[in-house]
A and B are shown apart, each in its own frame.
Chain A
Amino acid sequence: MKLFVEVHPGDYRDSIQLLFASGAMSEMEGVQKASIAMGTGASKTMFRLMGMNDPAIEQAGPSDLVIAVIAADEEVFRKAVAKGFAEMDSIAPADDGKPVYATIQEAVAARPDARVCVLSIPGEFVKAEAVHALNQGLHVVIFSSHVSPEDELEIKLKAKEKGLLCMGPDCGVVNLNGTAFLLGSITRRGPFGLCGATGVGIQHVGALLQAAGSGVSQILGTGGGDLKLPVGGITMLMGIDALEADPETQSILLVSRKPADEVLQSILSRISQCRKPVVACLMGCERAMVESSGAVYAENLDDVAVQALRLIGKTLPLQSDEELRALAAEAAQGMSPKQKYVRGLFTGGTYCDEAMRALAPLIGDVHSNCPLKPELLLKDSLHSEFHTCLDCGEDEFTLGKPHPTMEPSIRKPFVLAEGRDEETAVLLLDFIFAVAGAVDPVGAVIDEIRDAMRTARLRGGRLAVVASVCGTDADFQNLDEQKRKLRDAGVYVCDTNYRAALLAGEIIRRRNGGENA
């Protein structure tokens, strides 16, 4: 295998074209690794991490298209380049005659009634464009990652000064006035204003509210860096102000992983002054501390929806513990004595974390590439050990490739590998819809799921597959159809990721003789 590099000066492509082309090239025969990227600082770091070191890469600029492939020979490389360009051209939009603008200023001049600007450009250029947008009076939604905390702080201080929201960087889920942005779900409007630093978390709560017949006024994603230092929660604090002032919002729901201590204090202090009811799930924060602010404490993501609905006299009908126990009793039958472990494969990092927290009290330690305790870190993320939950959206799998929410087939080889492992008892999966994501996320891996189940059967065992789907009945993906596809394959479909993890844990507990526990 040898590294081949080609640079095309001035051939700028957007990140989605690049990511999908990289993915398509990586799967070719004779290709060990492949990536197409613009020659930005972040891309050069990525190439180095992938073991692709070449002076031509280092010399390339952000306007230059860099193609690097570790391939068997020159012919394979040529074929990979052709495949990469074909893939990029297939994604490039057809000329529909609509005007395309060179700058934000030009676009605003054409439509002075524009209010929001979405940025999905290389991180190192975000600050300049965000400042342009803010100076034009636009609220900004920043999907880009690799924005430095210093740049984020500067953008957010500028936004605050102008009274404008800055959602992101690293923001994947936003819903404004009933319109879903980026990777969010389409959600009916209702009395709850959501603001949160975990995209999957706020999408999950919005979807559950819709399932219960309610909905959201707005969903404001802050980006994961907002509740850390040095940013200090600027967007969440402005989000609370905005939702408090919004007549359509009756209650405010806040979701985040644990904020930095100083930031937590300012969020709690702001909640204590809020004139509207607040439900808060700040994962890892003490109940007493959250309740001291006057907020309703929510233990987990499901509980945010449960507590919120309680405020309007509604309940959330989720599978009961008894139902899960009955399903577990059925699912645990027919397994071979060697089948012992849960293997979770997640597209959402928040879901991976939530599943490990749900599983640990039932089955003990869970190994992971993002473990709850450092000693549970997998030696090799490509090989499960004992009970394992894998975050397939981690950089090690997605470096230079699309996130699994957009390209769910990244899980195919993992599903097959778990089927081949005679110790796998339960395969635990999440499926997350995105308004600009895969149209058939279940279809992307359903053949592999069937294969894995068949492999276990041929060995004289039975693989239990447990899954949850995060999305709404308004999403383009067709929620009922996606769930039906899973059920038809013999998958246990749970109401939420947390319930799915509990079912997986209960199956193992029964395997270990815990029926009467």
Chain B
Amino acid sequence: MNTDGNKAPELFREQKLVVINVGVRAFGEALEKQGADVMQVDWRPVAGGDKQMQDILSLLGGN
């Protein structure tokens, strides 16, 4: 089985976990209590939550 390109084994070797938490803050706080570094993203629906507009913006942003 080809495991080339599977980056999870690299993740498993990380000495300190740095996590980006998008949404519920309690999940980030629980990680911090265990010693992880957490970057909180204060997520809100973009384009006022217009799904179609969000898809268009996403395409334009090339991300």
Contact = CB atoms under 8 A, between A and B. Distances in A.
Interface of A: 10, 12, 14-16, 38-40, 61-64, 91, 93, 98-108, 110-111, 113-122, 124-125, 128-129, 131-133, 135, 137-139, 143-144, 162-165, 176-182, 186, 217-218, 238-239, 241-242, 244-246, 248, 270, 273-274, 435-436, 476
Contacts of A246: 8-9, 12
Contacts of B5: 163
A458 to B, nearest CB: 41
Interface residues of B, number: 45
30 contacts: A12-B44, A62-B45, A101-B42, A104-B41, A107-B41, A114-B18, A114-B19, A116-B17, A119-B23, A121-B23, A125-B45, A125-B54, A128-B54, A131-B63, A133-B20, A133-B22, A135-B63, A165-B11, A176-B17, A178-B34, A179-B31, A179-B34, A180-B34, A239-B8, A242-B3, A245-B6, A246-B8, A273-B1, A436-B24, A476-B33
Interface string B37-57: 101111111001111001100
Contact of A179 (B9, B25, B36, B45): B36
A150 to B, nearest CB: 14
Contact of A164 (B7, B14, B43, B48): B7
Contacts of B63: 105, 131-132, 135
B26 interface: yes
B40 A101 contact: yes
A107 B27 contact: no
A108 B12 CA distance: 19
Nearest 5 A-B pairs (CB), nearest first? A62-B49, A242-B8, A120-B23, A436-B30, A163-B5
A100 to B, nearest CB: 5
Contacts of A62: 45, 49, 51
Contacts of A113: 18
Contacts of A91: 26
B30 to A, nearest CB: 4
Residue picked from B6, B54, B55, most chain A C-beta under 10 Å: B6
B30 A111 contact: no
B24 A101 contact: no
B12 A107 contact: no
Contact of A102 (B29, B42, B48): B42
A346 to B, nearest CB: 23
B53 to A, nearest CB: 11
B24 A120 contact: yes
B33 to A, nearest CB: 7
A271 B37 CA distance: 35
A14 B25 contact: yes
A251 B44 CA distance: 41
Contacts of B12: 176-177, 217-218, 242, 246, 248
B50 to A, nearest CB: 7
A424 to B, nearest CB: 35
Contacts of A137: 7
Contact of A104 (B9, B17, B22, B49): B22
Contacts of A164: 7-8
Given A61-B50, A114-B18, A122-B45, 14 more contacts: A12-B44, A15-B23, A61-B45, A63-B44, A104-B22, A107-B41, A111-B18, A120-B23, A120-B27, A177-B12, A238-B8, A244-B3, A245-B8, A248-B12
A91 B43 CA distance: 16
Contact of A110 (B1, B3, B35, B39): B39
Nearest to B28: A118
Given A118-B20, A118-B27, A179-B17, A111 B3 contact: no
Contacts of B45: 12, 38, 61-63, 122, 125
B40 A177 contact: no
Residue picked from B20, B36, B48, most chain A C-beta under 10 Å: B20
Residue picked from B1, B21, B23, most chain A C-beta under 10 Å: B23
B48 A63 contact: yes
Nearest to A474: B34
A272 to B, nearest CB: 10
A113 B14 CA distance: 10
B1 A117 contact: no
A179 to B, nearest CB: 5
A129 to B, nearest CB: 6
B18 to A, nearest CB: 4
Contacts of A435: 30, 33-34
Given A114-B18, A180-B30, A180-B34, A128 B1 contact: no
Nearest to B43: A121
